[in-house]
Protein backbone atom coordinates (compact mmCIF):
# COMPACT_ATOMS: atom_id res chain seq x y z
CA UNK A 1 0.00 0.00 0.00
CA UNK A 2 2.92 2.33 0.68
CA UNK A 3 4.02 1.99 -2.95
CA UNK A 4 0.59 3.19 -4.02
CA UNK A 5 0.76 6.28 -1.81
CA UNK A 6 4.16 7.25 -3.21
CA UNK A 7 3.04 6.64 -6.78
CA UNK A 8 -0.17 8.62 -6.21
CA UNK A 9 1.73 11.57 -4.74
CA UNK A 10 4.16 11.57 -7.68
CA UNK A 11 1.26 11.46 -10.15
CA UNK A 12 -0.54 14.35 -8.42
CA UNK A 13 2.65 16.43 -8.52
CA UNK A 14 3.10 15.76 -12.24
CA UNK A 15 -0.51 16.68 -12.98
CA UNK A 16 -0.15 20.03 -11.22
CA UNK A 17 3.04 20.80 -13.16
CA UNK A 18 1.45 19.81 -16.48
CA UNK A 19 -1.65 21.92 -15.89
CA UNK A 20 0.49 24.97 -15.18
CA UNK A 21 1.72 24.67 -18.80
CA UNK A 22 -1.88 24.72 -20.06
CA UNK A 23 -3.40 27.94 -18.74
CA UNK A 24 -6.15 27.71 -21.37
CA UNK A 25 -7.47 24.57 -19.62
CA UNK A 26 -8.85 25.13 -16.11
CA UNK A 27 -8.09 22.69 -13.29
CA UNK A 28 -11.51 22.89 -11.62
CA UNK A 29 -14.51 21.18 -13.19
CA UNK A 30 -18.04 20.80 -11.87
CA UNK A 31 -21.17 19.00 -12.95
CA UNK A 32 -24.33 20.85 -13.94
CA UNK A 33 -25.37 20.63 -10.28
CA UNK A 34 -22.05 22.28 -9.33
CA UNK A 35 -20.55 19.15 -7.82
CA UNK A 36 -16.75 19.06 -7.96
CA UNK A 37 -15.19 16.56 -10.38
CA UNK A 38 -11.84 15.04 -9.39
CA UNK A 39 -8.98 14.71 -11.89
CA UNK A 40 -9.30 10.94 -11.83
CA UNK A 41 -11.02 8.30 -9.71
CA UNK A 42 -9.52 5.26 -8.01
CA UNK A 43 -10.97 2.45 -5.84
CA UNK A 44 -10.58 2.78 -2.09
CA UNK A 45 -8.65 -0.48 -1.78
CA UNK A 46 -5.61 -0.53 -4.07
CA UNK A 47 -2.75 -2.99 -4.07
CA UNK A 48 0.39 -3.22 -6.16
CA UNK A 49 -1.27 -5.68 -8.55
CA UNK A 50 -3.81 -2.95 -9.41
CA UNK A 51 -1.04 -0.44 -10.06
CA UNK A 52 0.81 -2.92 -12.29
CA UNK A 53 -2.32 -3.64 -14.31
CA UNK A 54 -3.96 -0.22 -14.57
CA UNK A 55 -1.40 2.23 -13.26
CA UNK A 56 -2.03 5.96 -13.25
CA UNK A 57 -2.81 8.11 -16.27
CA UNK A 58 0.47 8.86 -18.02
CA UNK A 59 2.21 5.92 -16.34
CA UNK A 60 3.12 2.43 -17.55
CA UNK A 61 1.23 0.38 -18.73
CA UNK A 62 -0.91 3.38 -19.84
CA UNK A 63 -4.25 1.57 -19.54
CA UNK A 64 -5.75 4.82 -18.25
CA UNK A 65 -4.15 7.07 -20.87
CA UNK A 66 -0.75 8.18 -22.15
CA UNK A 67 -0.90 11.65 -20.62
CA UNK A 68 -1.09 12.33 -16.91
CA UNK A 69 -3.80 14.95 -17.46
CA UNK A 70 -5.52 13.55 -20.57
CA UNK A 71 -8.40 15.85 -21.59
CA UNK A 72 -8.16 17.85 -18.36
CA UNK A 73 -4.99 19.27 -19.88
CA UNK A 74 -5.56 19.05 -23.65
CA UNK A 75 -8.45 18.00 -25.86
CA UNK A 76 -7.95 15.61 -28.75
CA UNK A 77 -7.17 17.02 -32.21
CA UNK A 78 -10.36 17.43 -34.22
CA UNK A 79 -9.10 16.32 -37.62
CA UNK A 80 -11.76 15.99 -40.32
CA UNK A 81 -10.72 13.90 -43.34
CA UNK A 82 -11.28 15.81 -46.59
CA UNK A 83 -10.23 15.79 -50.22
CA UNK A 84 -11.94 15.80 -53.61
CA UNK A 85 -11.45 17.07 -57.13
CA UNK A 86 -8.65 19.58 -57.57
CA UNK A 87 -6.14 20.92 -55.05
CA UNK A 88 -7.85 24.31 -55.28
CA UNK A 89 -11.29 22.90 -54.36
CA UNK A 90 -9.88 20.89 -51.48
CA UNK A 91 -7.96 23.91 -50.21
CA UNK A 92 -11.27 25.77 -50.01
CA UNK A 93 -12.82 22.93 -47.93
CA UNK A 94 -9.74 22.86 -45.65
CA UNK A 95 -9.99 26.57 -44.98
CA UNK A 96 -13.73 26.29 -44.36
CA UNK A 97 -13.20 23.52 -41.78
CA UNK A 98 -10.41 25.46 -40.06
CA UNK A 99 -12.72 28.47 -39.87
CA UNK A 100 -15.35 26.22 -38.24
CA UNK A 101 -12.97 25.21 -35.44
CA UNK A 102 -11.20 22.14 -36.83
CA UNK A 103 -7.77 21.83 -35.19
CA UNK A 104 -5.89 19.63 -37.66
CA UNK A 105 -5.99 18.71 -41.36
CA UNK A 106 -6.43 15.23 -42.81
CA UNK A 107 -5.91 14.73 -46.55
CA UNK A 108 -7.78 12.23 -48.72
CA UNK A 109 -5.95 11.54 -52.00
CA UNK A 110 -7.61 10.22 -55.14
CA UNK A 111 -7.02 6.64 -56.25
CA UNK A 112 -4.44 7.41 -58.98
CA UNK A 113 -2.30 9.34 -56.46
CA UNK A 114 -2.63 6.50 -53.94
CA UNK A 115 -1.24 3.95 -56.38
CA UNK A 116 1.38 6.17 -57.98
CA UNK A 117 -0.16 7.26 -61.29
CA UNK A 118 -0.39 10.77 -62.71
CA UNK A 119 -3.78 12.16 -63.75
CA UNK A 120 -2.95 11.79 -67.46
CA UNK A 121 -2.01 8.11 -67.17
CA UNK A 122 -4.35 5.71 -69.00
CA UNK A 123 -4.78 3.84 -65.70
CA UNK A 124 -6.27 7.00 -64.12
CA UNK A 125 -9.16 7.35 -66.57
CA UNK A 126 -12.44 7.94 -64.72
CA UNK A 127 -10.84 8.07 -61.27
CA UNK A 128 -9.17 11.49 -61.15
CA UNK A 129 -10.37 13.44 -58.10
CA UNK A 130 -13.16 10.97 -57.31
CA UNK A 131 -12.33 9.62 -53.83
CA UNK A 132 -9.87 12.34 -52.88
CA UNK A 133 -7.76 15.16 -54.22
CA UNK A 134 -5.61 14.70 -57.34
CA UNK A 135 -1.93 15.45 -56.62
CA UNK A 136 0.48 15.08 -59.53
CA UNK A 137 3.35 17.39 -58.58
CA UNK A 138 4.70 19.91 -56.09
CA UNK A 139 2.65 22.52 -57.95
CA UNK A 140 -0.57 20.78 -56.82
CA UNK A 141 0.73 20.47 -53.26
CA UNK A 142 1.46 24.21 -53.20
CA UNK A 143 -2.16 24.90 -54.21
CA UNK A 144 -3.48 22.41 -51.65
CA UNK A 145 -1.89 24.34 -48.77
CA UNK A 146 -2.24 27.85 -50.17
CA UNK A 147 -2.79 30.35 -47.31
CA UNK A 148 -2.44 27.56 -44.71
CA UNK A 149 0.69 27.89 -42.56
CA UNK A 150 2.37 24.50 -42.20
CA UNK A 151 4.20 25.84 -39.17
CA UNK A 152 0.88 26.27 -37.33
CA UNK A 153 -1.20 23.27 -38.39
CA UNK A 154 -0.60 19.53 -38.16
CA UNK A 155 -1.53 17.46 -41.20
CA UNK A 156 -2.36 13.79 -41.53
CA UNK A 157 -2.02 12.25 -44.98
CA UNK A 158 -3.71 8.97 -45.85
CA UNK A 159 -1.04 7.78 -48.25
CA UNK A 160 0.84 4.51 -48.25
CA UNK A 161 2.77 3.14 -51.24
CA UNK A 162 3.81 6.66 -52.44
CA UNK A 163 4.11 8.01 -48.85
CA UNK A 164 7.76 9.01 -49.35
CA UNK A 165 6.79 11.17 -52.35
CA UNK A 166 3.93 13.01 -50.65
CA UNK A 167 6.01 13.56 -47.51
CA UNK A 168 8.78 15.01 -49.68
CA UNK A 169 6.25 17.37 -51.30
CA UNK A 170 4.94 18.45 -47.88
CA UNK A 171 8.50 19.23 -46.75
CA UNK A 172 9.14 21.21 -49.94
CA UNK A 173 5.94 23.27 -49.52
CA UNK A 174 6.83 24.00 -45.89
CA UNK A 175 10.31 25.16 -46.90
CA UNK A 176 8.78 27.48 -49.52
CA UNK A 177 6.70 28.95 -46.66
CA UNK A 178 9.86 29.41 -44.57
CA UNK A 179 9.11 26.47 -42.26
CA UNK A 180 12.10 24.12 -41.82
CA UNK A 181 11.50 20.32 -41.76
CA UNK A 182 12.18 20.10 -38.02
CA UNK A 183 9.16 22.36 -37.39
CA UNK A 184 6.52 20.47 -39.37
CA UNK A 185 3.98 18.36 -37.50
CA UNK A 186 1.68 15.66 -38.78
CA UNK A 187 1.50 12.05 -39.89
CA UNK A 188 1.82 9.98 -43.03
CA UNK A 189 -0.05 6.69 -42.95
CA UNK A 190 2.82 4.78 -44.62
CA UNK A 191 1.39 1.41 -43.49
CA UNK A 192 1.84 -0.93 -46.42
CA UNK A 193 1.15 -4.24 -44.68
CA UNK A 194 -2.52 -3.42 -44.10
CA UNK A 195 -2.78 -2.56 -47.80
CA UNK A 196 -1.92 -6.16 -48.68
CA UNK A 197 -4.31 -7.37 -45.97
CA UNK A 198 -7.36 -5.18 -46.39
CA UNK A 199 -7.24 -2.12 -48.63
CA UNK A 200 -5.36 -2.83 -51.85
CA UNK A 201 -3.51 0.41 -52.69
CA UNK A 202 -0.08 -1.20 -52.83
CA UNK A 203 2.50 -0.84 -55.61
CA UNK A 204 5.71 -2.72 -54.83
CA UNK A 205 6.30 -6.15 -53.25
CA UNK A 206 6.58 -6.34 -49.43
CA UNK A 207 10.37 -6.34 -49.14
CA UNK A 208 11.16 -3.09 -51.04
CA UNK A 209 8.04 -1.53 -49.52
CA UNK A 210 9.42 -2.22 -46.05
CA UNK A 211 12.74 -0.69 -47.16
CA UNK A 212 10.98 2.53 -48.18
CA UNK A 213 9.29 2.66 -44.77
CA UNK A 214 12.55 2.27 -42.84
CA UNK A 215 14.14 4.91 -45.11
CA UNK A 216 11.41 7.31 -43.99
CA UNK A 217 12.02 6.39 -40.32
CA UNK A 218 15.73 7.17 -40.65
CA UNK A 219 15.22 10.35 -42.68
CA UNK A 220 12.64 11.83 -40.31
CA UNK A 221 14.60 11.00 -37.17
CA UNK A 222 17.35 13.11 -38.75
CA UNK A 223 15.41 15.84 -40.60
CA UNK A 224 11.82 15.99 -39.31
CA UNK A 225 11.83 14.67 -35.73
CA UNK A 226 8.39 16.09 -34.83
CA UNK A 227 6.65 14.34 -37.74
CA UNK A 228 4.96 10.96 -37.23
CA UNK A 229 6.58 8.59 -39.70
CA UNK A 230 3.82 5.98 -39.80
CA UNK A 231 0.21 5.55 -38.74
CA UNK A 232 -0.20 1.83 -38.24
CA UNK A 233 -3.78 1.25 -39.21
CA UNK A 234 -6.38 -1.07 -37.80
CA UNK A 235 -9.08 1.09 -39.33
CA UNK A 236 -9.06 -0.54 -42.75
CA UNK A 237 -8.67 -4.01 -41.24
CA UNK A 238 -11.93 -3.39 -39.36
CA UNK A 239 -13.62 -1.86 -42.42
CA UNK A 240 -12.78 -5.06 -44.31
CA UNK A 241 -14.85 -7.01 -41.78
CA UNK A 242 -12.56 -7.98 -38.90
CA UNK A 243 -13.62 -8.25 -35.29
CA UNK A 244 -12.31 -5.87 -32.62
CA UNK A 245 -9.90 -8.60 -31.45
CA UNK A 246 -8.54 -9.08 -34.97
CA UNK A 247 -8.20 -5.32 -35.45
CA UNK A 248 -6.09 -5.14 -32.28
CA UNK A 249 -4.01 -8.21 -33.02
CA UNK A 250 -3.26 -7.62 -36.70
CA UNK A 251 -2.47 -3.93 -36.19
CA UNK A 252 0.01 -4.64 -33.39
CA UNK A 253 1.51 -7.58 -35.30
CA UNK A 254 2.11 -5.24 -38.25
CA UNK A 255 3.61 -2.68 -35.89
CA UNK A 256 6.00 -5.30 -34.55
CA UNK A 257 7.11 -6.08 -38.12
CA UNK A 258 7.91 -2.39 -38.75
CA UNK A 259 9.88 -2.13 -35.50
CA UNK A 260 11.84 -5.29 -36.33
CA UNK A 261 12.59 -4.08 -39.87
CA UNK A 262 13.86 -0.74 -38.57
CA UNK A 263 16.03 -2.39 -35.91
CA UNK A 264 17.46 -4.79 -38.51
CA UNK A 265 18.31 -1.73 -40.62
CA UNK A 266 20.44 -0.50 -37.72
CA UNK A 267 18.07 2.07 -36.18
CA UNK A 268 17.87 2.42 -32.42
CA UNK A 269 14.35 1.62 -31.19
CA UNK A 270 14.21 4.69 -28.94
CA UNK A 271 15.16 6.95 -31.86
CA UNK A 272 12.20 6.06 -34.09
CA UNK A 273 9.56 4.49 -31.82
CA UNK A 274 8.35 7.80 -30.30
CA UNK A 275 7.20 8.88 -33.78
CA UNK A 276 5.13 5.76 -34.45
CA UNK A 277 1.39 6.47 -34.38
CA UNK A 278 -1.70 4.29 -34.72
CA UNK A 279 -5.08 4.60 -36.43
CA UNK A 280 -8.07 2.69 -35.10
CA UNK A 281 -11.71 2.25 -36.03
CA UNK A 282 -14.52 3.49 -33.81
CA UNK A 283 -17.23 0.86 -34.27
CA UNK A 284 -20.71 0.23 -32.92
CA UNK A 285 -20.26 -1.93 -29.79
CA UNK A 286 -19.84 0.98 -27.40
CA UNK A 287 -18.18 -0.66 -24.41
CA UNK A 288 -16.09 -3.09 -26.44
CA UNK A 289 -14.68 -0.17 -28.44
CA UNK A 290 -13.78 1.79 -25.30
CA UNK A 291 -12.10 -1.30 -23.85
CA UNK A 292 -10.30 -1.96 -27.15
CA UNK A 293 -8.49 1.38 -27.00
CA UNK A 294 -7.45 0.80 -23.38
CA UNK A 295 -6.21 -2.73 -24.21
CA UNK A 296 -4.23 -1.43 -27.21
CA UNK A 297 -2.26 0.98 -25.02
CA UNK A 298 -1.43 -1.70 -22.47
CA UNK A 299 -0.46 -4.27 -25.09
CA UNK A 300 1.84 -1.86 -26.95
CA UNK A 301 3.55 -0.74 -23.74
CA UNK A 302 4.27 -4.36 -22.82
CA UNK A 303 5.51 -5.21 -26.33
CA UNK A 304 7.84 -2.22 -26.50
CA UNK A 305 9.31 -2.80 -23.05
CA UNK A 306 9.47 -6.60 -22.93
CA UNK A 307 9.91 -7.56 -26.62
CA UNK A 308 11.89 -4.67 -28.07
CA UNK A 309 13.75 -3.39 -25.00
CA UNK A 310 12.62 0.22 -25.34
CA UNK A 311 13.88 2.47 -22.58
CA UNK A 312 12.09 5.76 -23.25
CA UNK A 313 8.56 6.30 -21.96
CA UNK A 314 7.54 7.87 -25.27
CA UNK A 315 8.54 4.64 -27.05
CA UNK A 316 6.02 2.74 -24.92
CA UNK A 317 3.13 5.19 -25.36
CA UNK A 318 0.60 4.24 -28.02
CA UNK A 319 -0.73 7.45 -29.59
CA UNK A 320 -3.68 6.97 -31.89
CA UNK A 321 -6.15 8.65 -34.21
CA UNK A 322 -9.69 7.32 -34.45
CA UNK A 323 -12.11 7.51 -37.33
CA UNK A 324 -15.65 6.32 -36.76
CA UNK A 325 -16.72 3.35 -38.84
CA UNK A 326 -17.62 4.17 -42.42
CA UNK A 327 -18.80 0.60 -42.97
CA UNK A 328 -21.61 1.10 -40.42
CA UNK A 329 -23.10 4.09 -42.23
CA UNK A 330 -26.27 3.31 -44.14
CA UNK A 331 -27.70 4.71 -47.36
CA UNK A 332 -31.14 4.00 -45.89
CA UNK A 333 -32.36 6.71 -43.47
CA UNK A 334 -29.02 8.56 -43.58
CA UNK A 335 -30.08 10.84 -40.70
CA UNK A 336 -29.60 7.81 -38.42
CA UNK A 337 -25.90 8.04 -39.20
CA UNK A 338 -25.64 11.22 -37.11
CA UNK A 339 -26.56 9.15 -34.04
CA UNK A 340 -24.20 6.30 -34.96
CA UNK A 341 -21.33 8.72 -35.46
CA UNK A 342 -21.96 10.47 -32.14
CA UNK A 343 -21.95 7.21 -30.17
CA UNK A 344 -18.87 5.86 -31.95
CA UNK A 345 -17.05 9.15 -31.34
CA UNK A 346 -18.02 9.10 -27.67
CA UNK A 347 -16.57 5.59 -27.30
CA UNK A 348 -13.29 6.81 -28.83
CA UNK A 349 -13.15 9.77 -26.45
CA UNK A 350 -13.89 7.57 -23.43
CA UNK A 351 -11.13 5.26 -24.70
CA UNK A 352 -8.63 8.15 -24.72
CA UNK A 353 -7.99 8.95 -28.40
CA UNK A 354 -5.49 11.69 -29.28
CA UNK A 355 -7.17 12.61 -32.56
CA UNK A 356 -10.61 12.04 -34.04
CA UNK A 357 -12.48 12.17 -37.35
CA UNK A 358 -16.26 12.00 -37.35
CA UNK A 359 -17.90 10.84 -40.59
CA UNK A 360 -20.69 12.79 -42.23
CA UNK A 361 -24.22 11.40 -42.43
CA UNK A 362 -24.27 11.24 -46.25
CA UNK A 363 -21.00 9.35 -46.83
CA UNK A 364 -22.78 6.11 -47.72
CA UNK A 365 -24.20 8.01 -50.69
CA UNK A 366 -21.58 10.55 -51.77
CA UNK A 367 -18.80 12.85 -50.68
CA UNK A 368 -20.04 14.93 -47.73
CA UNK A 369 -21.66 18.26 -48.37
CA UNK A 370 -20.41 21.33 -46.50
CA UNK A 371 -23.44 21.17 -44.20
CA UNK A 372 -22.99 17.50 -43.31
CA UNK A 373 -19.23 17.99 -42.77
CA UNK A 374 -20.03 20.83 -40.37
CA UNK A 375 -22.50 18.66 -38.42
CA UNK A 376 -19.83 15.96 -38.14
CA UNK A 377 -17.36 18.48 -36.72
CA UNK A 378 -20.00 19.94 -34.39
CA UNK A 379 -20.53 16.41 -33.03
CA UNK A 380 -16.98 16.42 -31.72
CA UNK A 381 -17.31 19.92 -30.33
CA UNK A 382 -20.50 19.02 -28.46
CA UNK A 383 -18.82 15.95 -26.93
CA UNK A 384 -15.84 18.08 -25.91
CA UNK A 385 -17.67 21.08 -24.48
CA UNK A 386 -21.20 20.06 -23.49
CA UNK A 387 -21.25 16.48 -22.20
CA UNK A 388 -18.80 16.66 -19.29
CA UNK A 389 -16.99 13.46 -20.34
CA UNK A 390 -13.70 15.35 -20.70
CA UNK A 391 -13.76 16.68 -17.14
CA UNK A 392 -12.19 13.62 -15.56
CA UNK A 393 -9.56 11.16 -16.75
CA UNK A 394 -10.66 7.70 -17.94
CA UNK A 395 -14.20 8.06 -16.56
CA UNK A 396 -15.10 4.40 -17.26
CA UNK A 397 -11.89 3.06 -15.68
CA UNK A 398 -12.70 0.76 -12.77
CA UNK A 399 -16.00 -0.40 -14.24
CA UNK A 400 -16.23 -4.16 -13.69
CA UNK A 401 -17.51 -4.61 -17.24
CA UNK A 402 -14.91 -2.36 -18.89
CA UNK A 403 -11.97 -3.90 -17.02
CA UNK A 404 -13.13 -7.44 -17.81
CA UNK A 405 -13.58 -6.55 -21.50
CA UNK A 406 -10.14 -4.89 -21.56
CA UNK A 407 -8.54 -8.03 -20.12
CA UNK A 408 -10.37 -10.38 -22.50
CA UNK A 409 -9.55 -8.33 -25.60
CA UNK A 410 -5.89 -8.22 -24.61
CA UNK A 411 -5.78 -11.96 -23.95
CA UNK A 412 -7.46 -12.92 -27.24
CA UNK A 413 -5.40 -10.46 -29.29
CA UNK A 414 -2.12 -11.74 -27.84
CA UNK A 415 -3.18 -15.27 -28.83
CA UNK A 416 -3.43 -14.12 -32.45
CA UNK A 417 -0.05 -12.37 -32.22
CA UNK A 418 1.57 -15.56 -30.89
CA UNK A 419 0.20 -17.49 -33.89
CA UNK A 420 1.53 -14.84 -36.28
CA UNK A 421 4.94 -14.94 -34.58
CA UNK A 422 5.01 -18.73 -35.03
CA UNK A 423 4.54 -18.16 -38.79
CA UNK A 424 7.59 -15.89 -38.84
CA UNK A 425 5.86 -12.53 -38.37
CA UNK A 426 3.36 -10.27 -40.11
CA UNK A 427 5.07 -10.20 -43.52
CA UNK A 428 4.96 -14.00 -43.72
CA UNK A 429 1.36 -14.03 -42.43
CA UNK A 430 0.41 -11.57 -45.19
CA UNK A 431 2.17 -13.55 -47.90
CA UNK A 432 0.45 -16.77 -46.77
CA UNK A 433 -2.94 -14.94 -46.76
CA UNK A 434 -3.52 -15.91 -43.10
CA UNK A 435 -4.82 -12.55 -41.91
CA UNK A 436 -6.87 -12.06 -45.06
CA UNK A 437 -8.62 -15.42 -44.53
CA UNK A 438 -9.37 -14.65 -40.89
CA UNK A 439 -10.94 -11.31 -41.83
CA UNK A 440 -12.99 -12.88 -44.63
CA UNK A 441 -14.32 -15.48 -42.17
CA UNK A 442 -15.31 -12.80 -39.67
CA UNK A 443 -16.98 -10.67 -42.36
CA UNK A 444 -18.93 -13.68 -43.66
CA UNK A 445 -20.14 -14.56 -40.16
CA UNK A 446 -21.26 -10.95 -39.59
CA UNK A 447 -23.20 -10.92 -42.87
CA UNK A 448 -24.97 -14.18 -41.95
CA UNK A 449 -26.00 -12.73 -38.58
CA UNK A 450 -27.38 -9.66 -40.36
CA UNK A 451 -29.38 -11.72 -42.84
CA UNK A 452 -30.83 -13.87 -40.04
CA UNK A 453 -31.68 -10.70 -38.07
CA UNK A 454 -29.52 -11.91 -35.20
CA UNK A 455 -27.88 -8.48 -35.52
CA UNK A 456 -30.11 -5.46 -36.13
CA UNK A 457 -29.19 -2.47 -38.27
CA UNK A 458 -31.88 0.14 -37.84
CA UNK A 459 -33.41 1.12 -41.18
CA UNK A 460 -31.77 -1.78 -43.05
CA UNK A 461 -33.08 -5.11 -41.74
CA UNK A 462 -35.47 -3.66 -39.15
CA UNK A 463 -37.52 -0.48 -38.75
CA UNK A 464 -37.52 0.38 -42.46
CA UNK A 465 -39.30 3.60 -43.41
CA UNK A 466 -40.66 2.67 -46.84
CA UNK A 467 -40.00 5.10 -49.67
CA UNK A 468 -37.50 7.77 -48.62
CA UNK A 469 -36.88 11.24 -50.01
CA UNK A 470 -33.40 11.49 -51.53
CA UNK A 471 -31.18 13.93 -49.61
CA UNK A 472 -29.22 16.70 -51.30
CA UNK A 473 -25.87 15.19 -52.33
CA UNK A 474 -22.54 16.61 -53.34
CA UNK A 475 -21.17 15.85 -56.81
CA UNK A 476 -17.68 16.55 -58.12
CA UNK A 477 -17.78 18.44 -61.42
CA UNK A 478 -15.65 16.49 -63.89
CA UNK A 479 -14.86 19.74 -65.72
CA UNK A 480 -11.85 20.17 -63.45
CA UNK A 481 -10.18 17.07 -64.97
CA UNK A 482 -9.54 18.85 -68.28
CA UNK A 483 -7.91 21.71 -66.36
CA UNK A 484 -5.85 19.26 -64.27
CA UNK A 485 -4.52 17.56 -67.41
CA UNK A 486 -3.76 20.91 -69.02
CA UNK A 487 -1.85 22.11 -65.95
CA UNK A 488 0.16 18.89 -65.88
CA UNK A 489 1.03 19.19 -69.58
CA UNK A 490 2.07 22.82 -69.10
CA UNK A 491 4.22 21.89 -66.09
CA UNK A 492 6.10 19.26 -68.10
CA UNK A 493 6.79 21.81 -70.83
CA UNK A 494 7.89 24.52 -68.39
CA UNK A 495 10.18 22.61 -65.99
CA UNK A 496 13.85 21.73 -66.61
CA UNK A 497 13.54 18.25 -68.15
CA UNK A 498 17.26 17.53 -67.96
CA UNK A 499 17.25 18.10 -64.18
CA UNK A 500 14.22 15.83 -63.82
CA UNK A 501 15.82 13.03 -65.86
CA UNK A 502 19.09 13.35 -63.93
CA UNK A 503 17.46 13.11 -60.50
CA UNK A 504 15.29 10.17 -61.60
CA UNK A 505 18.46 8.35 -62.69
CA UNK A 506 19.95 9.16 -59.29
CA UNK A 507 16.84 7.70 -57.62
CA UNK A 508 17.09 4.53 -59.74
CA UNK A 509 20.72 4.06 -58.66
CA UNK A 510 19.86 4.62 -54.98
CA UNK A 511 17.08 2.02 -55.19
CA UNK A 512 19.33 -0.51 -56.94
CA UNK A 513 22.16 0.02 -54.45
CA UNK A 514 20.01 -0.25 -51.32
CA UNK A 515 20.67 3.36 -50.27
CA UNK A 516 18.25 5.59 -48.39
CA UNK A 517 15.94 6.96 -51.10
CA UNK A 518 14.32 9.83 -49.20
CA UNK A 519 16.95 12.51 -49.84
CA UNK A 520 16.79 11.84 -53.58
CA UNK A 521 12.98 11.84 -53.59
CA UNK A 522 13.02 15.27 -51.91
CA UNK A 523 15.36 16.47 -54.67
CA UNK A 524 13.06 14.99 -57.31
CA UNK A 525 9.89 16.72 -56.13
CA UNK A 526 11.73 20.05 -55.88
CA UNK A 527 12.52 19.93 -59.61
CA UNK A 528 8.83 19.08 -60.19
CA UNK A 529 9.16 15.39 -61.01
CA UNK A 530 5.64 13.98 -60.76
CA UNK A 531 4.22 11.30 -58.47
CA UNK A 532 3.86 8.95 -61.44
CA UNK A 533 7.41 9.53 -62.72
CA UNK A 534 8.95 8.84 -59.30
CA UNK A 535 6.79 5.76 -58.69
CA UNK A 536 7.42 4.38 -62.20
CA UNK A 537 11.17 4.76 -61.62
CA UNK A 538 10.84 2.59 -58.51
CA UNK A 539 8.46 0.17 -60.28
CA UNK A 540 11.19 -0.44 -62.86
CA UNK A 541 13.58 -1.44 -60.05
CA UNK A 542 11.27 -3.25 -57.59
CA UNK A 543 8.49 -4.55 -59.81
CA UNK A 544 4.82 -4.61 -58.82
CA UNK A 545 3.08 -6.80 -56.28
CA UNK A 546 0.24 -9.05 -57.40
CA UNK A 547 -1.68 -11.18 -54.93
Rounded distance between C-alpha atoms, residue 94 and residue 144, angstroms: 9
Average confidence score pLDDT of the chain? 94
At residue 388, does pLDDT exceed 90?
yes
Task: Determine the Cα–Cα distance for residues 530 and 130; give it in Å rounded to an integer.
Answer: 19
Q: What is the pLDDT of residues 274-297, one digit of tens each?
A: 999 999 999 999 999 999 999 999
Q: Are 288 and 244 in contact (CB under 8 A)?
A: yes
Give the total residue count for the chain: 547
Question: What is the rounded CA–CA span in Å between residue 273 and residue 269?
Answer: 6
pLDDT grade for 454, boundaries at 50, 70 and 90: very high
For residue 333, what are the contacts with CB-CB under 8 A and spacing of at least 6?
458, 459, 465, 468
Chain-centre distance of CA 455, in angstroms?
28
Q: What percent of the chain has pLDDT over 70?
A: 99
Query: What's the pLDDT tens digit per position in 236-267?
Result: 999 999 999 999 999 999 999 999 999 999 99
Residue 382 confidence (pLDDT): 98
Residue 42's pLDDT is: 87
What are the φ and ψ backbone dihedral angles of 476, each rounded to 5 degrees?
-85, 125
Homologous superfamily, domain 189-387+394-451 = Methylmalonyl-CoA mutase (3.20.20.240)
CATH 3.20.20.240 residue ranges of the chain are 189-387+394-451
- Confidence at 52, pLDDT banded by 50, 70, 90: confident
Considering only 31-45, 170-184, 309-323, which range has the smallest mean pLDDT?
31-45
CA 25 to CA 210: how far, in whole Å? 41
The answer, yes or no, to whether residue 163 has pLDDT greater than 50, is yes
* Reported confidence tier of residue 2, pLDDT bands at 50, 70, 90: low
- Residue 89 Cα to chain centre, angstroms: 23
What was the pLDDT predicted at 393?
95
In the beta sheet, which residues pair with residue 294? none
What element of type H or E holds 29?
strand 29-30
Indicate the pLDDT class of residue 23, thresholds 50, 70 and 90: confident
pLDDT band, very low/low/confident/very high, at 165 (cuts 50, 70, 90): very high
Q: How far apart are CA 189 and CA 81, in angstroms?
A: 13
Categorize the per-residue pLDDT at 81 as very low, low, confident or very high, splitting at 50, 70 and 90: confident
Q: What would the mean pLDDT of 385-411 be, rounded to a whole number?
A: 96
d(Cα 547, Cα 538) in Å, to the nearest integer?
19
* pLDDT tier at 19, thresholds 50, 70, 90: confident
- Please report the pLDDT score of residue 1 as a whole number: 44
- Confidence check: pLDDT of 420 > 90: yes
CA torsion angle 108 82 180 147 (round to 10):
140
Strand order in the sheet with 154-158: 227-228, 185-188, 154-158, 104-108, 77-82, 355-357, 320-324, 276-282, 230-233
- pLDDT, residue 478, reads 78
So what's the pLDDT on residue 304? Answer: 98
pLDDT digits (tens, 9 = 90+) for 119-157: 999 999 999 999 899 999 999 999 999 999 999 999 999
Segment 330-350, tens digit of pLDDT? 999 999 999 999 999 999 999
Amino acid sequence: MEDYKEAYAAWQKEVKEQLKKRPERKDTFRTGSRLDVERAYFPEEIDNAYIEKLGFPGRYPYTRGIRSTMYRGQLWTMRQYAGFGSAKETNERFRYLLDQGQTGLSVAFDLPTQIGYDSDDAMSLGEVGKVGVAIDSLEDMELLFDQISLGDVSTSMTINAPAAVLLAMYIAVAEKQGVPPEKIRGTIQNDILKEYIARGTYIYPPKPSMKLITDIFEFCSREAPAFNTISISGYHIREAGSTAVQELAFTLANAAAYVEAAMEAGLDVDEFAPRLAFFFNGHNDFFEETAKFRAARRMWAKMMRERFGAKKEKSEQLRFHTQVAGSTLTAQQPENNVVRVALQAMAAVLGGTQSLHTNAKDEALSLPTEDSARIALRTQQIIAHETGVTNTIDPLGGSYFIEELTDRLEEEAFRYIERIDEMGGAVQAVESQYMQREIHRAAYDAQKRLEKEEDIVVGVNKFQAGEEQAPDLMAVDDAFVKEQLHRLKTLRERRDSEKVEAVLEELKAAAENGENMMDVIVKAVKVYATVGEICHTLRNVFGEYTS
